[in-house]
Amino acid sequence: MISSSTQWKSILVALDWRDYRIIEGVARYAAAHHWHLSNEMLLGRNIAHGWCGDGAITGYGPGLADFIVGLDVPKVDVTIADIPLQIPRVVVDDEAVGILAADHLRNCGFRNFAYYGYAAVRESQRRRVAYRDALMGSGVTAESIFDIRRGEARLYPSWHDRRAALARQLDALPKPIGVYSGQERLAANLVDIAVASGYKVPEEIAVLGTDNIHYICECQRVPLSSIDTRPHEHGYRAAEQLDRLMRGEIGLDADPILIQPAGVVRRRSTDVVAVSHPPVSRTLRYLRDHFQDPITVQDLLPISRMSERGLQKAFVRVLGRTPGAELRRLRLRHAKRLLRETDEKVAAIAQACGYSTSTNLGAALKREAGMTPRAYRRSFSK
């Protein structure tokens, strides 16, 4: 129980856009550290002119720019906006997000890729650049990477016209294709238009979004795969950084804190193996359905109907890795998700992912991420 003599701090959360999960992360820190969250700006865009308090967590943008600049309290910002003052920041690592998107769609077997996002939004452009660079760094040519342009309201004033313009762009793209959008709402709209245009999602057009907003992702005709950008952690770390700033432990020139994405939450919109080589496609589906079992290369030969040497060469030619490397990737991906999202013991996770012992899981994670399973879990446990 908090004593009545406890000194409470009054904190303003000033965002001109709303992601309630970031606010929930701030609230979790606030509840444990005797903070009063001033609610004047939590549920709308009413600017609290003349507000007095101890600190603020801000989301710099056109609607709040002058207010935030003039707010004479310690503050931490959660955007990458070009702010005309020094201010500590806690932001999503957009480069890591773009790389993760490229890896996910490439691992689905696609050879054609596209990006769909807001041209004027900095985070969208940063994700686009990282996505393209990661694809090209893996051997994808620029001729196989496309941009889908969002229809501007001034050119397409009606909802129907904007959808028709986007549908025409989808018609012009090579198929099959994997599309990444840096904004969840745009990704969901793209899925809707693709389905309405008669395309099979994900077989012809696979779509990956960003932020894993459940009420968007899970309420589509084809549920949307999305990158989990850890918004609760984002809010919690912003509050933690503000506390350090108010205590004088950091200065205004503190390095930005980058929130790493947790991974891709895979749903139907990218649940596909886009491989035109039937033996490799059959083998991939078997591996994805049975990675937790004790599989050897010999077990895969009846599935692929190929020789061991032929299967190895086909996998390397189509995916750039051997069947064994793909099996290790699938096992470790699932183990990392269980470490992030559950409280299961490491030994139980090892068994569930096809590792015979926790030692084997530990060695695999150490090679890939440079840390033990417990350290990996702690890094996501704020």
Interval 246-266: pLDDT, tens: 999 999 999 999 999 999 999
CA atoms within 13 A on the CB side of 73: 24
Q: How many CB atoms lie within 10 A of CB 321?
A: 14
Tokens of residue 46, six digits: 């009413």
Could you give the CA distance from residue 75 to residue 87 in angstroms, rounded to a whole number?
A: 7
What pLDDT, on a 0 to 100 scale, did the predictor assign at position 319? 81
Helix (H, G, I), strand (E, B) or coil at 255: coil
Residue 274 has pLDDT above 80, yes or no: no
Could you give the CA distance from residue 39 to residue 48 in angstroms, rounded to a whole number?
A: 10
Q: Please report which residue ranges of 278-357 form alpha helices under DSSP H.
A: 278-290, 297-304, 308-319, 323-341, 346-352
CA distances from 31 to 11, 20, 40, 55, 340 (A): 12, 16, 18, 15, 23
Residue 2 has pLDDT above 50, yes or no: no
Residue 1 has pLDDT above 50, yes or no: no
- Predicted TM-score (pTM) of this structure: 0.80
Interval 284-329: pLDDT, tens: 889 988 999 999 999 999 999 999 999 999 999 888 889 999 999 9
What pLDDT, on a 0 to 100 scale, did the predictor assign at position 62? 75
The reply to whether omega before 202 is within 30° of 0 (cis) is yes
What pLDDT, on a 0 to 100 scale, did the predictor assign at position 152? 61
What pLDDT, on a 0 to 100 scale, did the predictor assign at position 94? 97
Q: Tokens 């700006």 sit at which residue? A: 41
* Better-scored residue on pLDDT, 7 or 298: 298
Interval 214-235: pLDDT, tens: 999 999 999 999 999 999 999 9
Could you give the CA distance from residue 307 to residue 69 in angstroms, rounded to a whole number?
A: 67
Interval 325-366: pLDDT, tens: 999 999 998 999 899 888 899 999 999 999 989 999 999 999
Interval 43-93: pLDDT, tens: 666 788 889 899 999 988 777 888 888 889 999 999 988 888 889 999 999
What pLDDT, on a 0 to 100 scale, did the predictor assign at position 63? 75
Interval 8-31: pLDDT, tens: 999 999 886 667 899 999 999 999
Q: How many CB atoms lie within 10 A of CB 341?
A: 14
Average pLDDT, the chain: 90
Domains of the chain, each with CATH number or no CATH: 9-90+231-260 (3.40.50.2300), 94-230+264-270 (3.40.50.2300), 278-378 (1.10.10.60)
Average pLDDT over residues 135-140: 94
Q: Tokens 């991939």 sit at which residue? A: 284
What pLDDT, on a 0 to 100 scale, did the predictor assign at position 269? 96
